């Protein structure tokens, strides 16, 4: 194994690696770094020599990280984050190493309801941060955090690893979306069961409503199922149809699509926790703490 003198390694090589990993495209990486694409290619050649690995393989869609690159990413980012912390005390510092991408893991109901406000507030308060959102849900968020696929999770629970930080923000509840004002008036259980239902479920079989209806010896007619909350405005069109979903998403969808009216759910469904999570090692990272504070502010204010 060749011995590498660390004094001969340019710190900007690590920044180039981080941006290449995040963009998986040489031209976009060059644009973000403010250098030419040929300079990015030269940096990648140096990185390949240092780590004795291709790091990124060309595909029809860009550059795909190798197994080695996946393993290096959290180590490189942690090293750069430590260096970024040393720059925070410098006045009027515009060093590009302070430009951070913070990756949030959210299910699409949280994304619909809160992402726009979170991004807007982060841009106003921390213009050198860039938010990236990845699709997740409670059953996979812990694994995504442990594998460094996301930096922060916003989910309805699902965090049980000892190495992860878990914080309850608020309790969520459920509402209904209907397509006609008359359908929202005096929405009793009997009236609710007379509607055709759009089911939102990862399994596309049953949902939390069905679990509670079973306890009442009741059933409902489901006319369609989808795993995406974003599909609701396109699927919920006819009078006499209804969709039951988390109140935060119902409220936001109703704001965006005035033809959909949100109203109280006639079934008593228990509340659920809205959980903010990250790796415990990230609790010393100022950028992570900054974005977490924005998330708390946005989600706590929704109540």
Tokens of 14: 């690590």
Tokens of 275: 């959980």
Average pLDDT over residues 188-216: 90
Residue 85: per-residue pLDDT = 67
Task: Give yes or no: residues 19 and 158 share one domain.
Answer: no
Domain that holds residue 295: 100-171+272-301
In a domain, residue 95? The reply is: no
Task: Give yes or no: residues 52 and 82 share one domain.
Answer: yes
Task: Give yes or no: residues 154 and 17 share one domain.
Answer: no
Cβ neighbourhood burial of 61 (10 Å; 0-12, 13-18, 19+): exposed
Local confidence band at 100 (pLDDT 50, 70, 90 cut-offs): confident
Q: Per the structure, how many domains does the chain have?
A: 3
Distance CA 73, CA 77 (A): 6
Query: pTM of this prediction?
Result: 0.74
Q: Residue 271: is its pLDDT beyond 80?
A: yes
Task: Give yes or no: residues 194 and 215 share one domain.
Answer: yes
In a domain, residue 92? The reply is: no
Task: Give yes or no: residues 144 and 286 share one domain.
Answer: yes
Task: Give yes or no: residues 194 and 259 share one domain.
Answer: yes
Local confidence band at 22 (pLDDT 50, 70, 90 cut-offs): confident
Q: 112 near 253, Cβ under 8 Å?
A: yes
Q: Residue 4: is its pLDDT beyond 80?
A: no
Local confidence band at 159 (pLDDT 50, 70, 90 cut-offs): confident
Q: Which one-letter DSSP state was computed for residue 112? A: I
In a domain, residue 94? The reply is: no
Q: Residue 9: is its pLDDT beyond 80?
A: no
Task: Give yes or no: residues 255 and 193 share one domain.
Answer: yes
Distance CA 149, CA 143 (A): 8
Task: Give yes or no: residues 166 and 183 share one domain.
Answer: no
Task: Give yes or no: residues 128 and 50 share one domain.
Answer: no
Task: Give yes or no: residues 53 and 41 share one domain.
Answer: yes
Task: Give yes or no: residues 166 and 180 share one domain.
Answer: no
In a domain, residue 2? The reply is: no
Q: Residue 97: is its pLDDT beyond 90?
A: no
Q: Residue 6: is its pLDDT beyond 80?
A: no
Distance CA 256, CA 295 (A): 21
């Amino acid at each position: 194994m060749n011995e590498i003198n660390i004094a001969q390694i340019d710190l900007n090589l690590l920044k180039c690696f981080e941006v290449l990993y995040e963009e998986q495209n040489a031209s976009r990486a060059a644009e973000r770094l403010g250098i030419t694409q040929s300079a990015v290619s030269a940096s990648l050649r140096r990185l390949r020599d240092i780590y004795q690995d291709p790091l990124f393989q060309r595909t029809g869609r860009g550059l795909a990280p190798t197994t080695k690159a996946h393993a290096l990413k959290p180590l490189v980012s942690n090293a750069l984050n430590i260096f970024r912390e040393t720059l925070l005390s410098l006045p009027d510092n515009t060093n590009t190493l302070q430009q951070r991408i913070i990756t949030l893991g959210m299910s699409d109901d949280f994304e619909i309801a809160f992402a726009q406000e979170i991004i807007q507030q982060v841009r106003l308060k921390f213009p050198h941060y860039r938010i990236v959102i990845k699709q997740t849900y409670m059953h996979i968020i812990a694994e995504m955090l442990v594998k460094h696929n996301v930096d922060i999770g916003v989910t309805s629970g699902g965090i049980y690893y000892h190495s992860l930080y878990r914080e309850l923000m608020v309790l969520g509840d459920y509402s209904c979306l209907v397509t006609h004002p008359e359908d929202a008036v005096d929405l009793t259980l009997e009236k609710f069961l007379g509607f055709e239902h759009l089911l939102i479920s990862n399994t596309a079989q049953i949902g939390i409503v069905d679990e509670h209806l079973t306890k009442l010896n009741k059933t409902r007619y489901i006319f369609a199922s989808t795993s995406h909350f974003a599909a609701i405005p396109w699927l919920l069109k006819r009078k006499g149809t209804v969709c039951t979903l988390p109140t935060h998403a119902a409220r936001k969808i109703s704001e965006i699509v005035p033809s959909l009216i949100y109203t109280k759910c006639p079934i008593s469904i228990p509340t659920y926790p809205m959980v903010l999570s990250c790796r415990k090692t990230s609790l010393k990272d100022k950028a992570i703490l900054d974005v977490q504070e924005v998330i708390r502010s946005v989600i706590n204010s929704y109540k």
